[in-house]
Amino acid sequence: MKKRQFLKLTGIMGAGVVVAPFMACSEASKPEEKTGTPEEPTAPEAIEFTLPALGYGFDALAPKIDAMTMEIHHGKHHAGYVRKLNAALMDAPQYAGMSLEEIMAAVSADETGVRNNGGGHFNHSLYWQVISPSEAKAPTGDLLNAINEAFGSVEAFSEAFFTAAKTRFGSGWAWLSVGTDGKLFVSSTPNQDNPMMKGIVDAPGTPILGIDVWEHAYYLNYQNMRGDYINAFMELINWDVVAKNFAG
Ligand code: MN3
Protein backbone atom coordinates (compact mmCIF):
# COMPACT_ATOMS: atom_id res chain seq x y z
CA MET A 1 0.00 0.00 0.00
CA LYS A 2 2.76 2.40 0.88
CA LYS A 3 4.46 1.75 -2.41
CA ARG A 4 1.30 2.28 -4.44
CA GLN A 5 0.44 5.50 -2.62
CA PHE A 6 3.98 6.63 -3.16
CA LEU A 7 3.78 5.93 -6.90
CA LYS A 8 0.48 7.84 -7.11
CA LEU A 9 2.11 10.71 -5.29
CA THR A 10 5.15 10.76 -7.53
CA GLY A 11 2.82 10.63 -10.53
CA ILE A 12 1.14 13.78 -9.32
CA MET A 13 4.49 15.39 -8.64
CA GLY A 14 5.68 14.49 -12.11
CA ALA A 15 2.60 16.08 -13.66
CA GLY A 16 3.09 19.24 -11.63
CA VAL A 17 5.42 21.14 -13.96
CA VAL A 18 5.25 24.21 -11.76
CA VAL A 19 7.41 22.60 -9.05
CA ALA A 20 11.03 23.62 -8.93
CA PRO A 21 13.32 21.43 -11.05
CA PHE A 22 15.36 20.23 -8.09
CA MET A 23 12.20 18.90 -6.46
CA ALA A 24 11.11 17.04 -9.55
CA CYS A 25 14.58 15.59 -9.79
CA SER A 26 14.74 14.43 -6.20
CA GLU A 27 11.26 12.90 -6.38
CA ALA A 28 12.12 11.13 -9.62
CA SER A 29 15.11 9.49 -7.99
CA LYS A 30 13.04 7.88 -5.22
CA PRO A 31 11.29 5.12 -7.22
CA GLU A 32 14.69 3.70 -8.10
CA GLU A 33 15.68 3.61 -4.44
CA LYS A 34 12.37 1.87 -3.68
CA THR A 35 12.85 -0.82 -6.30
CA GLY A 36 16.13 -1.70 -4.61
CA THR A 37 14.12 -2.85 -1.54
CA PRO A 38 11.19 -4.90 -2.83
CA GLU A 39 10.30 -6.31 0.60
CA GLU A 40 9.00 -4.10 3.39
CA PRO A 41 8.31 -6.68 6.12
CA THR A 42 8.40 -4.13 8.90
CA ALA A 43 5.49 -2.05 7.53
CA PRO A 44 2.73 -2.56 10.13
CA GLU A 45 -0.06 -2.53 7.52
CA ALA A 46 1.66 -5.04 5.24
CA ILE A 47 -0.40 -8.22 4.76
CA GLU A 48 1.55 -10.96 3.10
CA PHE A 49 0.01 -14.34 2.52
CA THR A 50 2.35 -17.03 1.23
CA LEU A 51 1.99 -20.19 -0.83
CA PRO A 52 1.90 -23.14 1.59
CA ALA A 53 4.23 -26.03 0.83
CA LEU A 54 2.50 -29.00 -0.73
CA GLY A 55 4.01 -31.28 1.92
CA TYR A 56 4.43 -34.18 -0.55
CA GLY A 57 5.80 -34.73 -4.03
CA PHE A 58 4.03 -33.64 -7.19
CA ASP A 59 3.92 -37.31 -8.22
CA ALA A 60 2.63 -38.60 -4.87
CA LEU A 61 -0.97 -38.87 -6.09
CA ALA A 62 -0.20 -40.30 -9.53
CA PRO A 63 -1.74 -41.82 -11.51
CA LYS A 64 -5.04 -40.55 -10.05
CA ILE A 65 -3.76 -36.98 -10.25
CA ASP A 66 -0.69 -36.65 -12.43
CA ALA A 67 2.51 -34.82 -11.46
CA MET A 68 2.28 -32.13 -14.13
CA THR A 69 -1.25 -31.19 -13.09
CA MET A 70 -0.13 -30.94 -9.47
CA GLU A 71 2.94 -28.88 -10.32
CA ILE A 72 1.05 -26.37 -12.47
CA HIS A 73 -1.93 -26.27 -10.13
CA HIS A 74 0.15 -25.57 -7.04
CA GLY A 75 3.05 -23.60 -8.50
CA LYS A 76 1.14 -21.51 -11.05
CA HIS A 77 -2.56 -21.38 -10.20
CA HIS A 78 -2.41 -21.32 -6.41
CA ALA A 79 0.68 -19.12 -6.40
CA GLY A 80 -1.17 -16.69 -8.66
CA TYR A 81 -4.09 -16.45 -6.24
CA VAL A 82 -1.70 -15.70 -3.37
CA ARG A 83 0.10 -13.02 -5.36
CA LYS A 84 -3.11 -11.36 -6.52
CA LEU A 85 -4.64 -11.58 -3.04
CA ASN A 86 -1.68 -9.71 -1.59
CA ALA A 87 -2.02 -7.10 -4.34
CA ALA A 88 -5.79 -6.74 -3.73
CA LEU A 89 -5.23 -6.30 0.01
CA MET A 90 -2.98 -3.34 -0.67
CA ASP A 91 -6.14 -1.48 -1.66
CA ALA A 92 -8.29 -2.94 1.13
CA PRO A 93 -6.94 -1.63 4.47
CA GLN A 94 -10.10 -2.77 6.28
CA TYR A 95 -8.62 -6.29 6.25
CA ALA A 96 -5.35 -5.32 7.91
CA GLY A 97 -4.38 -7.81 10.60
CA MET A 98 -7.16 -10.27 9.76
CA SER A 99 -6.63 -13.98 9.25
CA LEU A 100 -7.64 -15.52 5.94
CA GLU A 101 -10.67 -17.07 7.66
CA GLU A 102 -11.74 -13.67 9.00
CA ILE A 103 -11.32 -12.12 5.57
CA MET A 104 -13.50 -14.85 4.03
CA ALA A 105 -16.23 -14.20 6.60
CA ALA A 106 -16.14 -10.45 5.98
CA VAL A 107 -15.75 -10.20 2.21
CA SER A 108 -18.69 -8.90 0.16
CA ALA A 109 -19.80 -9.84 -3.34
CA ASP A 110 -18.53 -6.69 -5.04
CA GLU A 111 -14.99 -6.96 -3.61
CA THR A 112 -13.95 -9.14 -6.52
CA GLY A 113 -10.18 -9.01 -5.97
CA VAL A 114 -10.30 -10.22 -2.37
CA ARG A 115 -13.27 -12.51 -3.05
CA ASN A 116 -11.75 -14.35 -6.02
CA ASN A 117 -8.13 -14.47 -4.90
CA GLY A 118 -8.76 -14.86 -1.17
CA GLY A 119 -11.15 -17.66 -2.03
CA GLY A 120 -8.58 -19.14 -4.38
CA HIS A 121 -5.96 -19.14 -1.62
CA PHE A 122 -8.30 -20.56 1.04
CA ASN A 123 -9.80 -23.23 -1.22
CA HIS A 124 -6.54 -24.57 -2.59
CA SER A 125 -4.90 -24.60 0.85
CA LEU A 126 -7.69 -26.96 1.96
CA TYR A 127 -7.57 -28.99 -1.26
CA TRP A 128 -3.88 -29.98 -0.94
CA GLN A 129 -4.49 -31.20 2.60
CA VAL A 130 -7.58 -33.31 2.00
CA ILE A 131 -5.90 -35.27 -0.79
CA SER A 132 -2.52 -35.64 0.91
CA PRO A 133 -1.24 -39.24 0.88
CA SER A 134 -2.83 -41.33 3.60
CA GLU A 135 -3.93 -44.80 4.58
CA ALA A 136 -7.20 -43.44 5.99
CA LYS A 137 -9.53 -44.36 3.15
CA ALA A 138 -12.85 -44.12 4.98
CA PRO A 139 -14.37 -41.90 7.67
CA THR A 140 -14.43 -43.28 11.22
CA GLY A 141 -15.42 -42.23 14.72
CA ASP A 142 -17.25 -38.96 15.31
CA LEU A 143 -17.02 -37.97 11.66
CA LEU A 144 -18.58 -41.25 10.55
CA ASN A 145 -21.39 -40.75 13.06
CA ALA A 146 -21.98 -37.20 11.80
CA ILE A 147 -22.04 -38.37 8.17
CA ASN A 148 -24.53 -41.10 9.01
CA GLU A 149 -26.67 -38.62 10.91
CA ALA A 150 -26.69 -36.06 8.10
CA PHE A 151 -26.86 -38.31 5.03
CA GLY A 152 -27.98 -41.74 6.29
CA SER A 153 -24.82 -43.52 5.12
CA VAL A 154 -21.35 -42.96 3.70
CA GLU A 155 -22.65 -44.14 0.33
CA ALA A 156 -25.42 -41.53 0.39
CA PHE A 157 -22.89 -38.83 1.31
CA SER A 158 -20.61 -39.94 -1.54
CA GLU A 159 -23.48 -39.74 -4.00
CA ALA A 160 -24.45 -36.26 -2.81
CA PHE A 161 -20.85 -35.04 -2.97
CA PHE A 162 -20.28 -36.57 -6.41
CA THR A 163 -23.47 -35.02 -7.77
CA ALA A 164 -22.65 -31.58 -6.36
CA ALA A 165 -19.21 -31.71 -7.99
CA LYS A 166 -20.44 -33.18 -11.27
CA THR A 167 -23.32 -30.75 -11.75
CA ARG A 168 -21.50 -27.54 -10.80
CA PHE A 169 -21.84 -25.65 -14.08
CA GLY A 170 -18.58 -24.18 -15.32
CA SER A 171 -15.82 -23.60 -12.79
CA GLY A 172 -16.21 -24.01 -9.05
CA TRP A 173 -16.05 -26.26 -6.04
CA ALA A 174 -18.09 -28.82 -4.13
CA TRP A 175 -17.91 -28.99 -0.35
CA LEU A 176 -18.62 -30.99 2.75
CA SER A 177 -19.14 -28.43 5.49
CA VAL A 178 -20.26 -28.04 9.08
CA GLY A 179 -23.29 -25.77 9.12
CA THR A 180 -24.17 -23.14 11.69
CA ASP A 181 -26.41 -25.79 13.31
CA GLY A 182 -23.41 -28.12 13.70
CA LYS A 183 -24.72 -30.55 11.08
CA LEU A 184 -22.81 -31.65 8.00
CA PHE A 185 -24.07 -30.61 4.58
CA VAL A 186 -22.95 -30.79 0.94
CA SER A 187 -23.00 -27.75 -1.33
CA SER A 188 -21.26 -26.29 -4.33
CA THR A 189 -20.11 -22.78 -5.17
CA PRO A 190 -19.08 -21.05 -8.41
CA ASN A 191 -15.60 -19.74 -9.22
CA GLN A 192 -13.51 -19.41 -6.01
CA ASP A 193 -16.37 -18.79 -3.61
CA ASN A 194 -16.64 -21.03 -0.54
CA PRO A 195 -19.02 -21.60 2.39
CA MET A 196 -16.90 -19.38 4.64
CA MET A 197 -18.19 -16.37 2.68
CA LYS A 198 -21.33 -15.93 4.74
CA GLY A 199 -22.16 -12.62 3.07
CA ILE A 200 -22.16 -14.25 -0.37
CA VAL A 201 -23.18 -17.92 -0.33
CA ASP A 202 -26.67 -19.36 0.19
CA ALA A 203 -25.43 -22.05 2.59
CA PRO A 204 -22.73 -20.74 4.96
CA GLY A 205 -20.59 -23.11 6.99
CA THR A 206 -17.08 -24.31 7.67
CA PRO A 207 -15.77 -26.53 4.88
CA ILE A 208 -13.88 -29.66 5.99
CA LEU A 209 -13.54 -31.21 2.51
CA GLY A 210 -13.50 -29.53 -0.89
CA ILE A 211 -13.00 -30.58 -4.48
CA ASP A 212 -11.81 -28.21 -7.19
CA VAL A 213 -13.76 -28.83 -10.40
CA TRP A 214 -12.10 -26.12 -12.48
CA GLU A 215 -10.79 -27.76 -15.63
CA HIS A 216 -7.21 -26.87 -14.63
CA ALA A 217 -7.56 -29.42 -11.79
CA TYR A 218 -8.03 -32.38 -14.11
CA TYR A 219 -7.97 -31.57 -17.82
CA LEU A 220 -4.45 -32.84 -18.64
CA ASN A 221 -5.34 -36.32 -17.41
CA TYR A 222 -9.11 -36.55 -17.75
CA GLN A 223 -10.00 -33.99 -20.46
CA ASN A 224 -13.80 -33.63 -20.42
CA MET A 225 -14.36 -36.62 -18.09
CA ARG A 226 -15.04 -34.69 -14.92
CA GLY A 227 -16.82 -37.65 -13.35
CA ASP A 228 -13.70 -39.83 -13.64
CA TYR A 229 -11.66 -37.13 -11.90
CA ILE A 230 -14.23 -36.84 -9.12
CA ASN A 231 -14.15 -40.60 -8.56
CA ALA A 232 -10.34 -40.54 -8.45
CA PHE A 233 -10.38 -37.61 -6.02
CA MET A 234 -12.79 -39.45 -3.74
CA GLU A 235 -10.43 -42.42 -3.62
CA LEU A 236 -7.61 -40.06 -2.61
CA ILE A 237 -9.42 -38.34 0.27
CA ASN A 238 -7.32 -38.27 3.44
CA TRP A 239 -10.04 -38.95 6.00
CA ASP A 240 -7.65 -38.29 8.90
CA VAL A 241 -7.35 -34.69 7.74
CA VAL A 242 -11.10 -34.37 7.18
CA ALA A 243 -11.70 -35.75 10.68
CA LYS A 244 -9.23 -33.25 12.10
CA ASN A 245 -11.00 -30.43 10.25
CA PHE A 246 -14.31 -31.71 11.63
CA ALA A 247 -12.99 -31.81 15.19
CA GLY A 248 -11.47 -28.36 14.82
MN1 MN3 B 1 -7.65 -24.86 -8.82
Distance 228 CA to ligand 1 centre (A): 17
Which pLDDT belongs to residue 168? 97
C-beta of residue 171 within 8 angstroms of C-beta of residue 219 = no
- The tens-digit pLDDT sequence of the chain (248 residues) is 333 333 333 333 333 333 333 333 333 333 444 444 455 554 445 559 999 999 999 999 999 999 999 999 999 999 999 999 999 999 999 999 999 999 999 999 999 999 999 999 999 999 999 999 999 889 999 999 999 999 999 999 999 999 999 999 999 999 999 999 999 999 999 999 999 999 999 999 999 999 999 999 999 999 999 999 999 999 999 999 999 999 99
Alpha carbon separation from 81 to 89, 115, 152, 166, 210 (Å, rounded): 12, 10, 37, 24, 17
Residue 181 CA, ligand 1 centroid: distance in Å: 29
d(CA 173, CA 189): 5
| AA identity, residue 10 | T
Distance 41 CA to ligand 1 centre (A): 28
86 CA → ligand 1 middle, Å: 18
State the pLDDT at residue 38: 52
Residue 173 half-sphere exposure, CB side, CA atoms within 13 Å?
A: 25
Q: What is the distance in A from the centroid of ligand 1 to the CA of 105?
A: 21
173-194 as b/e: b if 16+ CB within 10 A: bbbbbbeeeeebbbbbbebbbb
- Quick one: 37 exposed, middle or buried, by C-beta within 10 A (0-12, 13-18, 19+)? exposed
Cα 17 to averaged position of ligand 1 atoms, centre (Å): 48
pLDDT at 141: 97
3-state secondary structure of 211: strand
Domain segments of the chain: what residues? 67-247
Distance from the CA of 230 to the center of ligand 1, in angstroms? 14
124 vs 128: CA distance, rounded Å = 6
67-247 placed in CATH 3.55.40.20: yes
Closest CA to 190 of 165, 207, 209: 165
- Distance from residue 33's CA to the centre of ligand 1 (Å): 37
Count of Cβ atoms closer than 10 Å to residue 133 Cβ: 11
Query: How far does the centroid of ligand 1 lie from the alpha carbon of residue 23, in Å?
Result: 48
Sequence length of the chain is 248
